[in-house]
Amino acid sequence: MKSERQIIRVPDAATLARAAADRLSARLDANGGRAAVCLTGGSSPERLYRLLASEPYRSRIPWQRVHWFMGDERFVPAQDSRNNMAMARRLFLDSCAPPENIHPIPVQAGTTREAARRYEIALQTFYGSGRLDPMRPLFDLVLMGVGPDGHTASLFPGDAALDEREQWVVGVPHAGVEPLVPRITLTMPLLASCREMLFEVSGAEKRDILTKILDGENFPAARARSLGETVWLVDAAALPEAPENG
């Protein structure tokens, strides 16, 4: 595994979203066949999602051959405004992607455990195997965000889900931050199965946690690494000083 983390610092949130859209588009171009992107929730990717639905990105994305998954979900109805896939659908997927290429976490399942089990089967069917091959990553790109407590996806500090190595998807009964609803999350080994893991970190409210992570503190977001490239896009408000890579 390439364990280095590359930090790319940009001036502001608008530049950050464009840089993310360019990286996403480049990853899709590099794969001439069926491609897979793992999205994230929270507010960080909103600008990026809006950009993808507008030119020049809208014409640049090969929508017919790209499949869209979600890295974690809040256990609320699919139409609920807190639902991560509902946000992605509203901002770009419903207006751009073929419906059969959108793969939501099935929140209609009775329990988070059942939703996790079903999504794992869907991912394994898409991948064509229940065993991850490091030479054949599942995702071209995995988008990530970081929470104030250092969580990423729905992998919260101290939670058992963080150390899961076998299951691809698990239920998380208690979220560490708002909204305080149960979650479903992809686990570290599955999130790592990508050509690029791309964090978007923007705004002064991210400064404290980002400083701690770059200082080497052991948070879930700090542990998350791709088998390929791990890139942190950060803006000047989140990172006032230029960092060393590491």
Locate 62 and state its tokens.
């090969």
**Could you give the C-alpha distances from 55 to 18, 51, 52, 60, 137, in angstroms and in order?**
11, 7, 8, 8, 29
Q: Is the dihedral of CA 147, 152, 155, 158 positive or negative?
A: negative
Q: Which helix (H) or strand (E) is 199 found in, with range?
A: strand 194-201
Residue 84 binds ligand 6PG, judged by CB under 6 A: yes
In the complex, the smallest distance separating the C-beta of residue 200 from ligand 6PG, rounded to whole angstroms, is: 8
Query: Between residues 133 and 205, which has the closer beta carbon with respect to ligand 6PG?
Result: 205
Query: Between residues 31 and 189, which has the closer beta carbon with respect to ligand 6PG?
Result: 189
What is residue 89's three-state secondary structure?
A: helix
Residue 153 binds ligand 6PG, judged by CB under 6 A: yes
Residue 41 binds ligand 6PG, judged by CB under 6 A: yes
Report CA dihedral (116, 117, 119, 123) to the nearest 10 degrees: 130
Query: Residue 95: which residues within 8 A CB-CB, separation 6 or more?
Result: 53
Of 3-11, 26-34, 126-134, 148-156, the window that binds ligand 6PG (rule: CB under 6 A) is: 148-156
Query: Between residues 58 and 76, which has the closer beta carbon with respect to ligand 6PG?
Result: 76
- Of 42, 137, 171, 220, the one binding ligand 6PG by CB under 6 A: 42
**Could you give the C-alpha distances from 213 to 7, 131, 185, 224, in angstroms and in order?**
12, 31, 21, 11
Of 24-32, 40-48, 60-68, 229-237, the window that binds ligand 6PG (rule: CB under 6 A) is: 40-48
Residue 40 binds ligand 6PG, judged by CB under 6 A: yes
Cα 139 from chain centre: 10
d(CA 113, CA 222): 26
Residue 72 binds ligand 6PG, judged by CB under 6 A: yes
Of 112-120, 143-151, 212-220, 235-243, the window that binds ligand 6PG (rule: CB under 6 A) is: 143-151
In the complex, the smallest distance separating the C-beta of residue 152 from ligand 6PG, rounded to whole angstroms, is: 5
d(CA 209, CA 75): 26
In the complex, the smallest distance separating the C-beta of residue 50 from ligand 6PG, rounded to whole angstroms, is: 14
| Residues binding ligand 6PG (CB under 6 A) | 40-44, 72, 74, 84, 145-147, 151-154
